[in-house]
Every structure is written in C-alpha cells, then in structure tokens.
Chains A and B, each alone.
Chain A
Amino acid sequence: MFLGALLGALINLNGSGRYIHWGFIQISVANFVVIVLMVVVFVLAILLPFPKRKRGGQ
C-alpha cells in the first residue's frame, strides 16, 4: 500500500501515455525507460565482477 502510494506520487499512471518525439522517431516514455534499463543492466553485467566460490585451503 505504502509502496504503491510512493510510486504513484513519483509516476502518474492515470491518463494517456506520454511520448517522446525526436524527428521521425516516436516512442512512449515507458518503452524508452525499459530500453535504457536494459542497456544499463547489460553494461553492469559486463563490468561488475562475478563472485568467486571460495575453495577450502586455496
């Protein structure tokens, strides 16, 4: 409930969707955010070190 109210305060999901217009490119803000998130996660997956399993005595 609290989380929903918090997100609702940040992002108004009532009403029609918002779009980004850039020349002939038109994309909804929601889709744009998802694409940006995918790029961020992709870059982090490459850069962040993977935890190594500790082996006894080594």
Chain B
Amino acid sequence: MSIDTGDRTEAPARAESRQWTARMRHAAESAFPPDQLLPDRQPAYMASWIYVFGVLTVVSLAWVIITGCVLAIMGPSWWHVSSTGHFVNSLHLWSVEAFFFFMVIHLWGKFFMAAWRGNRRLTWASGVICFLVSVGAAFTGYLSQQNFDSQWISTQAKDGINSTGAGAVFNVLNFGQMLMWHIVLLPIVVALIAGMHVLLVRRHGIVPPFAEGDDDAEAAVATGAVPAEEPA
C-alpha cells in the first residue's frame, strides 16, 4: 500500500510514463495539442468561401445520422405512412443530397489546391476513401427504402455486383443484409474516416495557396526537400 504524500517528484512521473494509458495520453497530446485541435485563429488565406464546404459536408453528415437514427427508432410503417414520417424521410434524403453536393465541391476545391502538398497525403487519401464509402452507404440506402424503387434498383444492381464476383458475399437482393450494411457497417466506417479526416486537417493545418511564381518552392515542399510551412 502506498501513501500519497502529495510530493510529485520525478520518480512517480517515470513510473507513470510506462503505463499504456500514459503513453497514449502523451501521444495524443503531442499529436493534437489543444490549441491546434480547437484553434481560435486561422491563416489569412482561409478567408474564402471555398474553405466552407468541408464543414458544410460535416454538418450535412450530422443531419444524415440524426435523421437516420429517428427513422431507425420509428420504423418503416411510420416513415411510409405518417406525414411526420414522410417529412423525416425527406430530411434524410435531402441531407444526403446536401452531403454529396458539398463534398463534391469540397473535393474540387481541394483538388485544384493540390491539397496533398506539405505532407497532407493521408488527409487527401482519407477524404477519397470517405467519399467512396459514402457512395456505398448511399446505394445501400436506395435498397433500404422498402418500396418499388428499391426493388427495381436491387434487381438492376444484382447483375453488376455478380459480374464482379462480390455477389457471393454481398447480395443486393438480401434486404436484411443491405439494411444492416446501410444502418450499421457503412455509417460506422464513414463516421470513423470522417473523424480521422478532420483530425488530420487539425494536425497538418489547411493547405496554403500556391505562391505566385513559386512553382519550384511548392515542388520542393511536395517532394519533402524542404519542410512544409506550418499554419499559423
């Protein structure tokens, strides 16, 4: 039994640092300092409308998840019959439309900024993967509507899926399987990758614009020949 005398000397600090919880805490604090995780100042070049589409995408995703949770709680007999159910079902659809609308503009903006510069390759790649998984989540959503539209789409999709060989494990005619993919697996993956994407943006900062007549310097940063400029 040890007695805490209140004396925080070096020895206990060393003992603490060997624990995995402490190592994780130190790694998290080192990777994401609080002032970098929730900054109150941003670089001047961020004062452009093109930078708002990332957060608009995140807000749309939040609405997709919130309305999806309401639909899951109430069930298809509610969203197909009641006027409130129709409204929430429509909110779910239109928040998905907004999600893809803003995400594609965000993608265009980041593509033309070459947003993978300055050691931001993983940020770019996580965004691309999030986009592709979101497409899968949306397609399984079409199959989960429980109406003639979803029946038509599933019978049209089955041949395409079977031609890839994936039909053996991913059967678009299996409603239960598609519903589980849509409301459990794919949302978890999208939320995790989107969260990782946002954390990477916080860690590496927002990509600076190309400097005029400074192509050589940008190329040097992109190839790692010189360190990238840290955001303010």
Residues on the A chain within 8 Å of B101, using CB: 34, 37-38, 41
Interface range on chain A: under 10, 10 to 19, 20 to 34, or 35 or more? 10 to 19
Q: How far is the CA of A38 from the CA of B101 in the complex (A)?
A: 7
- In contact, B49 and A50 (Cβ under 8 angstroms): yes
Contacts across chains A and B counted by CB atoms under 8 Å? 29
The answer to whether B47 and A45 touch across the interface, beta carbons within 8 angstroms, is no
Interface-facing stretch out of B102-110, B162-170, B212-220: B102-110
Bound Cα distance from A45 to B108, whole angstroms: 11
**Cβ-based interface call for A24 (8 A):** no
User: In the bound complex, do residue A42 and residue B48 qualify as a contact, i.e. CB atoms below 8 Å apart?
Assistant: no
CB < 8 Å neighbour of B105 from A42, A48, A50, A52: A42
> Which residues in window 139-193 of B have CB below 8 A to A?
none
Report which of A34, A37, A52 forms a contact with B47, defined as CB distance below 8 A. Answer: A52
Chain B interface mostly helix, strand, loop or mixed?
helix
Bound complex: CA A48 to CA B50 (Å): 10
Which residues of A lie under 8 Å from residue B49 when comparing CB positions?
Answer: 44-46, 48, 50
Q: Which of B80-113 contact A (CB under 8 A)?
A: 97, 101, 104-105, 108-109
**Closest residue on chain A to residue B104 by CB atoms:** A38
**Is residue B78 contacting chain A, with contact meaning CB distance below 8 A?**
no
Is the beta-carbon distance between B109 and A50 smaller than 8 angstroms?
A: no
Shortest B208–chain A CB gap in Å is 16
Partner of A45, one of B97, B104, B109: B109
Instruction: Give the complex CA separation of A48 and B51 in angstroms.
Output: 12
Interface residues of B (CB under 8 A from A): 47-50, 52-53, 97, 101, 104-105, 108-109
